[in-house]
């Protein structure tokens, strides 16, 4: 059976929940996460067996043409989360909280997390940071919204980092990150994204937690892995980080398809009889 046939033959999956994701770590089953910003991507990735669809604020750089994730708004994330949620995937839908939607106060963070669930249809939310977001995480979890944390190379801090650089290379920073990971677990996070950190640290943090770590440039020992869909599909035209593996070259396929359409229209080969009434 080909991989395509195997995907189509797969039995419908039960809805994946935040507790089910924790249970996957307990069973030692790797967790697969990709970004999704639109309905067809959500349907296709869900059919392929992805466990978590992340409506990342990377939508800003990947789809909207921004140079960073900082300009992304609540309205942007709501718009894309609705499109993904309408696919009714078995995968857990996690909506990213954009810059300035949770930093000002705990109250604002709770209200915005609530909007992503109530208006967007998200099953969970994600936010970046450790100590400084702990009170907000605690409160959001208390009201019943599952929270995914995010430590390491957190893109919303790109200005403070002075660029997209691997984080926590020194001993003090490593100790701080490991402590913040434990704090986020204690505050109730059901999973943590670890981005752009040494693989050895990814392994240490993973071993020290009950909840799963999802790595992106954090080594193979994390409990799961996440990639931006457009990166893995070869559809992103910007800078490609070292941690990306491309599983397709869709940009090449698109270029070729557009060029053939242009040639057919110019030569009056399209539409043919079959495409005409
Ligand atoms: O926004 C995003 O896509 C993310 C992932 C890279 C983890 O936060």
Residue 113 pLDDT > 90, yes or no? yes
Q: How many CB atoms lie within 10 A of CB 157?
A: 14
Q: How many CB atoms lie within 10 A of CB 82?
A: 16
Distance 264 CA to ligand 1 centre (A): 39
Going by the DSSP 8-state scheme, the letter that residue 151 receives in this structure is E
Q: What percent of the chain has pLDDT over 90?
A: 94
Q: How confident is the model at residue 1 (pLDDT cuts 50, 70, 90)?
A: low
Distance between start and end Cα atoms, the chain: 39
Residues noted as catalytic: 195
Atom of ligand 1 nearest to the CA of 57: 1
User: Which helix (H) or strand (E) is 125 found in, with range?
Assistant: strand 124-126
CB of 216 closer than 8 Å to CB of 193:
yes
Give the binding-site residues of ligand 1, using a 6 Å CB cut-off: 35, 54, 56-58, 96, 193, 195, 216, 226, 228
CB of 148 closer than 8 Å to CB of 93:
no
Q: How confident is the model at residue 54 (pLDDT cuts 50, 70, 90)?
A: very high
Give the tokens for residue 252: 């090449």
Angle at 259 between CA 255 and CA 262, to 5 degrees: 140
pLDDT tens digits, 177-228: 999 999 999 999 999 999 999 999 999 999 999 999 999 999 999 999 999 9
For atom 5 of ligand 1, which residue has the closest CA? Answer: 56
Give the tokens for residue 202: 């990814």
pLDDT tens digits, 218-258: 999 999 999 999 999 999 887 789 999 999 999 999 999 99
CB of 212 closer than 8 Å to CB of 26:
no
For atom 6 of ligand 1, which residue has the closest CA? Answer: 228
Q: How far apart are CA 113 and CA 210, in angstroms?
A: 24
Q: How far apart are CA 237 and CA 126, in angstroms?
A: 26
Going by the DSSP 8-state scheme, the letter that residue 97 receives in this structure is P
pLDDT tens digits, 7-20: 666 678 999 999 99
Q: Tell me the CA distances in angstroms from 27 to 21, 193, 206, one per residue in order.
A: 10, 19, 14
For atom 4 of ligand 1, which residue has the closest CA? Answer: 56
The model's pTM: 0.96
Q: How far apart are CA 217 and CA 94, in angstroms?
A: 20
Distance 54 CA to ligand 1 centre (A): 7
Distance 8 CA to ligand 1 centre (A): 28
């Amino acid at each position: 059976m080909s991989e395509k046939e195997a995907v189509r033959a797969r039995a419908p999956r039960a809805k994946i929940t935040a507790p089910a994701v924790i249970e996957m770590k307990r069973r030692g089953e790797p967790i697969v996460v990709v970004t999704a910003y639109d309905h067809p991507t959500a349907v296709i990735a869900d059919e392929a067996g992805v466990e978590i669809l992340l409506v990342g604020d990377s939508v800003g750089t990947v789809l909207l043409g921004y140079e960073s994730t900082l300009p992304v708004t609540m309205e942007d994330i709501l718009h894309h989360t609705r499109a993904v949620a309408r696919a009714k995937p078995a995968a857990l839908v996690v909506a990213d909280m954009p810059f300035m939607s949770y930093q000002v106060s705990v109250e604002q963070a709770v209200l915005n997390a609530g909007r992503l669930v109530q208006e967007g249809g998200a099953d969970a939310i994600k936010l970046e940071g450790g100590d400084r977001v702990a009170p907000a995480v605690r409160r959001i979890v208390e009201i019943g919204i599952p929270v995914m944390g995010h430590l390491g190379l957190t893109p919303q801090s790109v200005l403070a980092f002075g660029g997209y650089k691997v984080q926590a290379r020194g001993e003090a920073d490593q100790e701080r990150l490991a402590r913040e990971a434990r704090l986020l677990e204690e505050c109730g996070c059901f999973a943590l994204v670890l981005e752009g950190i040494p693989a050895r640290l990814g392994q240490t943090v993973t071993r020290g937690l009950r909840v799963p770590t999802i790595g992106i440039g954090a080594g193979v020992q994390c409990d799961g892995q996440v990639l931006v869909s457009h990166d893995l599909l070869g559809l992103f035209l910007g800078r490609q980080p070292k941690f990306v593996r491309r599983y397709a070259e869709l940009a090449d396929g698109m270029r070729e398809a557009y060029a053939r359409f242009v040639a057919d229209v110019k030569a009056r080969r399209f539409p043919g009889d079959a495409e005409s009434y």
